[in-house]
Amino acid sequence: MAKKKKDDNRPKLTPEQANAFIAGAGQVVEEPITLTLEKNYMPYAMSVIVSRAFPEIDGFKPSHRKLLYTMYKMGLLTGGLTKSANIVGQTMRLNPHGDAAIYETMVRLARGNETLLHPYIQSKGNFGKAYSRDMAYAASRYTEAKLEPICNELFRDIDKETVDFVPNYDNTMQEPTLFPATFPTILVNANVGIGVSMASSVCPFNLSEVCETTIALMKDPSHNALDTLKGPDFPGGASLLYDEEELERIYQTGRGSVKLRAKYQFDKETRTLEIVEIPATTTIEAIKEKIVSLVKLGKIKEISDIRDESDLNGLKIGIDIKKGVDPDKLMQKLYRLTPLQDSYACNFNILVHGYPKVMGVYDIIREWVDFRMDCVKRRISYDLKKKQEKLHLLKALGKILLDIDKAIKIIRETEEEAEVIPNLMIGFSIDEIQAEYIAEIKLRHLNREYILKRLDETKALEAEIAELKEILGSDRKIKSLIIAELKEVSKKYGQPRRTQFYYKNDVEEVEVEEDVPDYPVTLFLSASGYFKKITPLSLRMASEQKYKEGDFLSQEVEAANRTELLFFTDKQQVYKTRASAFEDTKASALGDYIPAKLGFDEGENVSCMITTTDYSGYMLFVFQNGKAAKVPLSAYETKQNRKKLNNAYSAKSPLAAAFFIGTNEEIMLRSTNGRAIVFNTALLLPKSTRDTQGVQVMTLKAKGSAVEKAFLLTAEQAEGLSKYRSKTIPVAGSFAKDIPDPDQLSML
């Protein structure tokens, strides 16, 4: 017998509908990519930014907040230590991620890891170290933890509706959206996050300085934060370059970078450099690997050994140096070549009302003050509501005080329990809540003394309610409460700065000569500014020098690859570089165009090229007005290794010629009216100021005349021109009809 088919309640398709459905299957519907991204990618991107990567104004990411709130609910603010595995397991009720991710978050918040300036978790066991890549933390089953006392400031009044609560992911419990922190935690502890298409990097600041700055800005919005907030303060210490201009930019815009360098000490007995603090952006392993790599490449020859000597006392890297090596100069070299000096990039990207926003310190403090004022207002409103409710009940006591016997009589004569409350409401003209309160009073409290005490409490409550209402209506008084809390936090948890400052003028830049191979070269400079560096071998094989049409050789100097070059320009500036900065070339090439290579100003051209290795000797400037200036070449040497110097020579008169002279040289000057003089540069006293006007050497009597040419003379040339010699200056000079053309002076 055939089985009866079950009833099928699914909708039936007509043959036409079925055919249409089959025909449409597998079809691709075209839509603009912008619409696809908006529907699919943007929700994902915003979810990563809002729910994972960026901190909010309370200073925490969601993962931090879920962990700390779980520990708070576990009673770990006042209780003893508990196994980290237990904390991780409990946190999974709020955080749907795996236990490994939760525990890693916990490690970074712990004191033992040394990531935070003010850790939130007290730890016991191996929690690794932020300054070591290979020092792994122990598994959660081996470590223990509880909340640090500073967490009292995070959770203060959290049960008084100071912040909003939302359901957790499975709707089984509530969690806070923010913490009502009593101080700007967002600026006190570092926070780094990478979202989609944007990132966040907030450096830490000293707690006492942050509190002081917040108070100052609340009292005076025009306060200069640099006066109280000196700069970032990192848990690992190190030294920070105090650059006021850069710090001001960070404080105003939230973007910029600060330069950190390691601290060291030198043990003379063992000749060991001991690195005791390193920048927050690097690790012990990264530093060791870089130094070992440089030693193998031969770029650092002063080091014989390097080792990690970190122990329970803290970080230490030992570097053994060879005999005769200056430890301070070696450290300057290591700062330049290794992560012992590094930059911390600041990008204060913070979630404000659910949206990422890059803010400077001023804006962050203003946002935090607004947030904290809202928390305090909500706390006061909560306290006010509770006191009003209590006052409402106590007023009912005041009414039955007039006739306690009547209240007892009403209760005794009421036959049904359900009628007690309505009868009390009618008998004393009170509401249901008050009647419930009176009905629940114990017999032992139905005495005059108890009720009189409650009435005295009523007066105190009325005064407190009036005060709370007054505070709630005054922003000034609410700010006073916040300021008092900030002072209390600063006094209780403040600590001295760990990161100290160093300044630009404290730094002596050391050139790393060993990095540059040294060999002989010949330098060529053309009149229009083309430069060539040619080795002797290439020069011997060359036929002739190549120049652009109309260009010609201006200077030819034999030098070395490490020679320093000074290019003086027609705009009274000098550009400094090295011969090693240019590639070796051939005579057949045009060479490097110096104005483009060194970034000259528009319309600026080369006047002359000077070579030096030790900045000894002098620069001699001869001006068209007949004056000459002798300036020590050392005036152009800078500790900061600057590449461009302004006011290289005087701008009062056009330059006729510029020379480098060793000590005393013979110089010949010719004027446009046909006069000439020869004198020794010993007659000129050196001037320490680069742009000095110099002294009058040639007196120009004829109207419109000027110094036209100036030449360095050899001893033989000077002897042949002895009749033009002058033993004193200034002089007008003699007419020079029989002197050869200046370009042929070298043939004498």
**Residue 490: predicted pLDDT:** 95
d(CA 629, CA 693): 7
Mean pLDDT, to the nearest integer, of 175-200?
90
Q: Is residue 232 a contact partner of residue 210, using CB atoms and an 8 Å limit?
A: no
pLDDT level of residue 637 (50, 70, 90 thresholds): confident
d(CA 566, CA 583): 17
User: Does residue 142 have an active-site annotation?
Assistant: yes
**Residue 508: predicted pLDDT:** 61
Higher confidence at residue 111 or residue 49?
A: 111
Whole-angstrom CA distances from 522 to 107, 540, 597, 638, 678 are 61, 11, 19, 26, 31
Nearest to 603 by CA among 573, 630, 637, 631: 573
Helix or strand run (H / E) with residue 396: helix 361-401
The sign of the torsion formed by the CA atoms of 313, 319, 322, 324 equals negative
Mean pLDDT, to the nearest integer, of 681-705?
86
- The neighbour count for residue 534, using CB atoms within 10 Å, is 21
**Residue 1: predicted pLDDT:** 43
For residue 330, is pLDDT > 50? yes
| DSSP codes joined into one string, 614-644 | S--SEEEEEETTSEEEEEEGGGG--TT--SE
**Residue 9: predicted pLDDT:** 53
pLDDT tens for 548-587 read: 888 888 889 999 988 999 999 999 999 999 898 898 888 8
pLDDT tens for 33-63 read: 888 877 787 787 777 777 778 999 999 999 9
Going from N- to C-terminal start, the domains of the chain cover 58-181, 263-339, 368-493, 513-747
H, E, C per residue of 38-89 = HHHHHHHHHHHHHHHHCCECCCCCHHHHHHHHHHHHCCCCCCCCEEHHHHHH
pLDDT level of residue 747 (50, 70, 90 thresholds): very low
Catalytic residue selected from 41, 44, 142, 615:
142
d(CA 614, CA 591): 26
C-alpha dihedral, 313 to 318 to 324 to 329, nearest 10°: -90
pLDDT tens for 281-299 read: 999 999 999 999 999 888 8
**Residue 546: predicted pLDDT:** 86
Q: Is residue 432 a contact partner of residue 421, using CB atoms and an 8 Å limit?
A: yes
At 328, list the tokens.
């301070």
d(CA 607, CA 574): 10
Task: Determine which of 116-120, 375-379, 483-487, 591-595 has the lowest per-residue pLDDT on average.
Answer: 591-595
d(CA 558, CA 297): 30
Highest mean pLDDT pick, 246-250, 391-395, 540-544, 679-683:
246-250
For residue 10, is pLDDT > 60? no
For residue 226, is pLDDT > 60? yes
At 52, list the tokens.
């994972």
pLDDT tens for 260-275 read: 999 999 998 899 999 9
**Residue 739: predicted pLDDT:** 62
pLDDT level of residue 5 (50, 70, 90 thresholds): very low
Q: CB-based contacts of 39: which residues, under 8 Å, 6+ apart? A: none
For residue 512, is pLDDT > 60? no
**Chain position carrying tokens 């000490």:** 265
**Residue 742: predicted pLDDT:** 46
Percent of the chain having pLDDT more than 70?
Answer: 92
pLDDT level of residue 3 (50, 70, 90 thresholds): very low
Coil, helix or strand at residue 151: helix
pLDDT level of residue 17 (50, 70, 90 thresholds): low
For residue 319, is pLDDT > 50? yes
Q: CB-based contacts of 560: which residues, under 8 Å, 6+ apart? A: 518, 519, 520, 521, 579, 613
For residue 610, is pLDDT > 50? yes
Task: Determine which of 120-129, 324-333, 368-377 has the lowest per-residue pLDDT on average.
Answer: 324-333
Highest mean pLDDT pick, 168-182, 383-397, 402-416:
168-182
Phi-psi label, residue 694: left if phi above 0, alpha if psi -120 to 50, beta otherwise: left
pLDDT tens for 455-505 read: 788 888 988 999 999 999 899 999 999 999 999 999 999 999 999 999 887
CB burial of residue 76 (10 Å; 0-12, 13-18, 19+)? buried
Mean pLDDT, to the nearest integer, of 741-746?
48
For residue 400, is pLDDT > 80? no
For residue 443, is pLDDT > 50? yes
Mean pLDDT of the chain: 87
Q: Which CATH number fits domain 58-181: 3.40.50.880, 3.90.199.10, 3.40.50.12710, 1.10.10.10?
A: 3.90.199.10
Q: Does domain 263-339 have CATH number 2.40.110.10?
A: no
The terminus-to-terminus CA distance of the chain in angstroms comes to: 137
CATH topology of domain 513-747: Neuraminidase (2.120.10)
Q: What residues form DSSP beta bridges with 709?
A: 670
**Residue 51: predicted pLDDT:** 74
**Residue 415: predicted pLDDT:** 81
Mean pLDDT, to the nearest integer, of 646-664?
88
Q: Does domain 368-493 have CATH number 1.10.268.10?
A: yes
Coil, helix or strand at residue 304: strand
For residue 4, is pLDDT > 50? no
- Provide the pairing of β-strand 239-241 with 500-502: parallel
